[in-house]
Amino acid sequence: MLSIRQLHIVVLASLLFIAAALRLWLLGEKSLWFDEAYSLFVAGMPPRDLVAYVFRSDAHPPGSYLLLRYWIGLAGNSEVAARMFGVLPSFGAVVLTYLLARRMAGVRVALLATGLMAAAPFQVAVAQQVRMYALLTLLTLASTYIIWRALEQHHPGLWIGYALVQAASIYVHYFAFLIWGFHALYVLLFARRSTQAWRWFLGASVVVALLYAPWWSRLAAHIVEGRGWAWFKPRTGVLDLLSATLSLLTYGGHQSSAAAPTFYSGAPLPPAQAIVRLLPFAILAGVGSLSLPRQPRLFLTLYLLAPLSVVGVATLWRTFAYPRYFPFLQPAVVILVAAGIARLTGVASGTLRRAVAGVALAAIVVLTVPVLYQYYVSPEWEPYDWRGAATFLEEAATGDDVIVLYPWNGQMPFDYYYRGRQPRIPVLIPDPRRSLEQYEAEQKGETFTRTMIPRLWAARRRLWLVSTIPVPPGSRERLEEAITTYYRPVELRVFGRLVAVTRYEVRPVPASRLRGHRS
């Protein structure tokens, strides 16, 4: 017979095994999409060039790219090896969720929260990405756990650790500043009468600010320039952003025939459907919040709502955030929901307790498990099949063909897979917020222009157009119109949902000449 402590250890070990299995299962199955290929592109630069490139061109700080550079130097840059860069910190975040929940609400809530974090579709998707979001989740959760302990114990080592981890997190993603702000707000509201707490927190914050000194100027420039959102994309409304974000943080988002999954598209459900799906989680989180002592209740509520509120207000001014930026808020959600489940099952007895527990867990399972299942098996979760497009062209393109990539950044994921020798020419989309010199400094080699088409027509019998999104409205049509003056479209293949490959055959006589002759 196992003791209670031994049973807890067995359950925890089982949950951690599930967390690892879900993050490793089919890790290399999906093709890299642009964001992942871009991460590998940046990480492939020498450190000095990497920092300079990120300083000049990226919407994020350089920390994750530098770490990824050293990671792929050790593990390689295959899909599985590169994606382990997300798997490892995501697994660590599951462990830290248990530790934080246990200190706040006890072992029972901690085990429930660990299970929810382990199987959360949003966390699994983030873990299997060559991006910084899993690392952001781990570091912000680590700083949050450390400050909770530091406010209890006021040990110098904890405050030093807090400063180092918090500084590391804001070098990974700017949204870590939201967690730093939440910590400051909690200290202000809860520990305002504790001179010792304020002194330690201010001292640690000064250290964080000093450690971030090399990047403050770039942060200011990013705020002014509004990087991170394509200039031609429509703005996202506050309610749409919050609805899509909360859907990811609870049941993992949705997918439909009209849009890619929420993780990629950021598209929210209609309000009525969103409310129905979010309501069970809101009820459980509300009950969980009320069941906790005052300090953990305030801490977890601020953990979730303070960052969302700041981003919501800022979105009224400028759109700069995607829902997939927020996995670092998941620990607050799962701990509150776990506390709600524990409370509802704890106040009942016998048959009623089992019924309440069954209904609560059934609601979560019904909403969450289908999303997790779809993540692994549905083609909708691979909207950008660059591997398929590259493999097709390796077999179909001949030696004198030319490949045009639209927009230009599609060349990064395409070149990751493509092993053919045909020339590849990207189509530049000038951003009115940037100078042509900036683009020329970043783009190596020739770019596709309208005036190039006659030269290609004279030398290349076939042209392949590889296109994806996002692009300015109407620009694809103008590009195709320019190409069809000299080439005629023959074949269209779609890979995933959002990568199209069109084969063009050369016209004997350009259409413009034919029109002129007929007139």
Q: What is the tens place of the pLDDT at every residue in 185-244? A: 999 988 767 778 889 999 999 999 999 999 998 888 877 776 666 655 677 889 999 999
Cβ atoms within 10 Å of 500's Cβ, excluding its own: 18
Distance CA 337, CA 422 (A): 54
Helix (H, G, I), strand (E, B) or coil at 185: helix
pLDDT at 513: 57
Which backbone phi and psi does 252 adopt, to 5 degrees? Answer: 100, 5
Q: Would the CA dihedral through 28, 33, 36, 41 be positive or negative? A: positive
Contact by Cβ (8 Å): 488, 507? yes
Domain boundary assignment for the chain? 4-381, 386-518
Distance CA 202, CA 184 (A): 9
Burial of 81 (0-12, 13-18, 19+ CB in 10 A): middle
pLDDT at 350: 62
- 71's CB contacts (< 8 A; 6+ apart) are 43, 82, 84, 85
Distance CA 402, CA 407 (A): 16
Query: What's the CATH code, domain 386-518?
Result: 3.40.50
For residue 267, the 8-state DSSP code is P
Distance CA 115, CA 496 (A): 32
Q: Which residue has the tokens 């309208």?
A: 450
Q: Is 32 left (phi over 0), alpha (psi -120 to 50) or beta?
A: beta
Distance CA 53, CA 484 (A): 36
pLDDT at 229: 60
The amino acid sitting at 64 is S
User: Prior bond to 61 cis, omega within 30?
Assistant: no
Q: Which residue has the tokens 């997190």?
A: 169
- Kindly give the confidence (pLDDT) of every residue in the chain, 519 residues in length, as a single tens digit, with 9 standing for 90 and above: 788 889 999 999 999 999 999 999 999 999 999 999 999 999 999 999 999 999 988 889 999 999 999 999 999 999 999 999 999 999 999 999 999 999 999 999 999 999 999 999 999 999 999 999 999 999 999 999 999 999 998 899 999 999 999 999 999 999 999 999 999 999 998 876 777 888 999 999 999 999 999 999 888 887 777 666 665 567 788 999 999 999 999 999 976 544 568 888 888 888 888 898 999 999 999 999 999 999 999 999 999 999 999 999 998 888 888 999 999 999 999 999 999 999 888 766 667 766 777 787 888 889 999 999 999 998 889 999 999 999 999 999 998 999 999 998 899 999 999 999 999 999 987 655 554 455 445 555 567 888 899 999 999 999 999 999 888 888 889 999 999 999 999 999 999 999 999 999 999 887 665 554 444
pLDDT at 257: 47
pLDDT at 511: 67
pLDDT at 327: 98
Contact by Cβ (8 Å): 331, 93? yes
pLDDT at 445: 58
pLDDT at 226: 64
pLDDT at 385: 97
Q: Could you tell me how far CA 14 lies from the centroid of its own chain?
A: 27
Nearest-CA neighbor of 215 among 167, 250, 145, 149?
167
Nearest-CA neighbor of 30 among 460, 463, 379, 448?
379
Contact by Cβ (8 Å): 39, 83? no
Cβ atoms within 10 Å of 148's Cβ, excluding its own: 21
The kind and range of the H/E element at 135 are: helix 133-153
The reported pTM is: 0.93
Q: Could you tell me how far CA 346 lies from the centroid of its own chain?
A: 36
pLDDT at 429: 75
Distance CA 116, CA 134 (A): 16
- 284's CB contacts (< 8 A; 6+ apart) are 336, 337, 340, 341, 344, 360, 364
Cβ atoms within 10 Å of 514's Cβ, excluding its own: 13
* Long-range Cβ contacts of 68-72 (<8 Å, 24+ apart): 68/39, 68/40, 68/43, 68/130, 69/43, 69/44, 69/45, 71/43, 72/40, 72/43, 72/44
State both tokens at 501: 């490959």
State both tokens at 155: 């040990």
